[in-house]
Amino acid sequence: MTRFRVLVSLSLVLALTACGGGTSDPVEPPPPPPPPITASPDVRADYLVGRMTLDEKIHLVHGGAARDWWAHTLPRGGGGWVPGITRLGIPPLYLADGSVGVGNSVGEATALPSSLASAAAWDLDLAYEYGKVIGTEMRALGINVNLGGNVNLTAREPRGGRTFETKGEDPIFAGRITAAHLKAIQDQHVMAGIKHYAFNDVETGRMSVNVLIDDRAARESDLLAFEIGLKDSGVQSVMCSYNLLNGDYGCENSYLLNTVLKNDWGFKGFVMSDWDATRSTVKAAINGMDQEHPENLYFDTQLKQAVLSGQVSEARLNDMVHRILRAMFAVGIFDYPITVQPIDAQAGAAVAQEVAEQGSVLLKNSGILPLSKSLTSVAVIGSHGDIGVLSGGGSAQVTPVGGVALNEGTPCPPCWSRVIWHPSSPLNAIKAKIPSATVQYNEGTDAASAASLAATSEVAIVFVSQWESEGMDVPSLNFTDVIHTPPIDQDALVNAVAAANPNIIVVLENGGPKFLPWLSNVNAVLEAWYPGQKGGEAIANILFGDVNPSGKLPMTFPAKTSHLPRPVIAQPPDATTPFDVDYNVEGFNVGYKWYDSRDIAPLFEFGFGLSYTTFAINNVQLTADTTSSNHDFQITLDVRNTGTRAGAEVAQVYLELPSGLGESRRLVGWKKISLAVGEKQSVTIAVNANDTSHPLSFWDTGTQSWKIAAGTYIVKVGNSSRNLVTAGTFEVQ
């Protein structure tokens, strides 16, 4: 506001000076006063647009990074920058990645567990806390735009290198977790972003893969995840993706940007390109892209020229600028200026640990866990378990508080992304649990030496890991060492240790679904994902029972490569020529829906996860008001802790639509419930037919609208997508 007042008086001085100069020019009337802070973002944006020159408008629709932006010439680090316009009091935009913490070399920040680990906690409140850490730390580090909301459904390609940044395979589930992250970020007056719009589910040929999918399948899968993530959070920026969809690049795809996003969903914010994903000036501008990043190859002089020649209307340019400014007002970037200050590292670390503890998934336990604190000897083996825990690579990479434990360089491919181990030592955390025991470490590079340590220990804990990154897919779903030459054969390591010691626990550090070929040879498996900078402590707390695991898989772990919709990852013919990948194979049946509709047994199903206690789900009742036209329904059930430890269970509600619609079943609601020993809680899960997830609907391509089909709906309840009882059925006439 102050800035505007100064401006108004400056203009008056200028006008008076002109008058005092004695010219006969008519005196310009003073501009109207700026709208008050209470005016709507639209009104405030319009006021500024009305005062901007053509050059100023062009200035706002592209990044200000130098062409050699990789040299990190950005004033606050991060990934991008749009300089402000001082004359009009428009602040600069400082953009940085932030899927798993503040990324892209802004400075040291809390390295949270992967986004998929956050999803695996199945807890929207905790997901909000996760986003809040990112938003708060971004503010502290001087960043006002977050690029982190990756909601791509990479279960279409579970070898996808960015799976760790995503939120799972189910659009309703992933959309809601993403919305919780993004809302929390924007509540800190940092603009959040959702990406990569859309169908950027694979890294192999990500710049040129042409995804083929029909309208209904698109709307009920990846697009639904975006729709929920966007509408439930009020996120103000959308990043269009590198890949093509049905023949057009994401950043010049009128179906995605104009039809679906801006028209059907009524999105009022702006679309920014992924980094160097802009392919044209006129087509991109007309088809809905609003801001180019990180630089100015298409939306600078070329766009100005296109506007002057009428190829792009000035109205469209005004729309781009309006959207950007409106988003800045809506989030509070004008009204809540940032003061750079130290981050609250302690608060961040507490959330990092809580998420790692809640999001780890116990996949197998033959009774060995939790470990006794009277153990006298433990062997800790592999994956730098003596110094730290692994993180995912690429633009989401965070420099953890206190610096990295180990940087193993930049493997090729992708040749630019770092292998970072965060400084949280599982070995030390395990030692702290059993201070008088002998706890020894073996690096696991030589299976025979690891086995000989295991043979002389009561228990062996083997850490196996898979480095994954933006810019590459993993070669297979086996744990495959892509870091070392020669590679460490981790499957052989587990088998050798299992042969030497009957008490073996395997802890997994990885981004997404994996095969566990040695599963029957080991006693317990804990999926710790990339557990973040308090991962070591969280793992030890779970292994020794100070925390009872309650995470559930947000993605199916398939049993065989031949079970995937596309067993072989399509390879691009060269760096630029578009090549097709047909998503109509699975269509909207992504993840568990694919395995269920084909009756293929997975290794572990979506929603699966064990606990150290047992639960019973009883008194399941469905209440559906069949007379009403809105088709809302609710489930009530009792969950009782029938075991000997306090713990938490996730009650999951699935809906089977009338047969003929082609879908097996869909998750429509869930609730995580913490229970003391013997405690029972009654739980209600309400399903609102008209909420953003369209839980009962299919997309009717003919009318271009969501429809509820006539027929029988079956409601199922349980604690995984395959462990369900029927709660009841209802009819829609």
Residues forming the site for ligand BGC (CB under 6 A): 79, 97, 104, 147, 195, 274-275, 395
* Min separation Cβ 193 and ligand BGC, Å: 8
Rounded to whole angstroms, the Cα distance separating 450 from 441 reads 9
* Min separation Cβ 158 and ligand BGC, Å: 19
* Min separation Cβ 80 and ligand BGC, Å: 7
* Min separation Cβ 168 and ligand BGC, Å: 18
Using the minimum distance from each CB to ligand BGC, give the nearer residue, 167 or 433.
Answer: 167
Using the minimum distance from each CB to ligand BGC, give the nearer residue, 195 or 593.
Answer: 195
* Min separation Cβ 337 and ligand BGC, Å: 24
Using the minimum distance from each CB to ligand BGC, give the nearer residue, 147 or 261.
Answer: 147
Q: Which of 274, 290, 300, 596 is labelled catalytic?
A: 274
* Min separation Cβ 332 and ligand BGC, Å: 22
Among 14, 5, 3, 11, residue whose Cα is nearest residue 33: 5
Among 429, 434, 424, 425, residue whose Cα is nearest residue 378: 434
The DSSP annotation for 277-305 comes to: ----SHHHHHTT--BB-SS-SSSSHHHHH
Using the minimum distance from each CB to ligand BGC, give the nearer residue, 370 or 394.
Answer: 394
**3 state DSSP class of 6:** helix
CA 688, chain centre distance (Å)? 25
| Structure-block tokens of residue 207 | 């710049």
| Structure-block tokens of residue 423 | 């400084």
Beta strands at 149-150 and 193-197: parallel, antiparallel or unpaired? parallel
What is the phi/psi pair of residue 255, to 5°? -60, -50
- Asked whether 708 and 629 are in contact (CB, 8 A), the reply is no
Rounded to whole angstroms, the Cα distance separating 529 from 113 reads 7
Question: Cis omega (within 30 of 0) on the bond before 196?
Answer: yes
The DSSP annotation for 593-605 comes to: HHHHHTT---SB-
Rounded to whole angstroms, the Cα distance separating 176 from 229 reads 6
- Asked whether 32 and 12 are in contact (CB, 8 A), the reply is no
Rounded to whole angstroms, the Cα distance separating 462 from 426 reads 11
Strands of the sheet with 647-656, listed across from one edge: 666-675, 647-656, 711-720, 723-732
* Min separation Cβ 148 and ligand BGC, Å: 8
- Name residue 656's amino acid: E
Helices (H), 361-470: 426-433, 447-455
Task: Judge whether 42 counts as a catalytic residue.
Answer: no
Using the minimum distance from each CB to ligand BGC, give the nearer residue, 393 or 565.
Answer: 393
Active site residues: 274
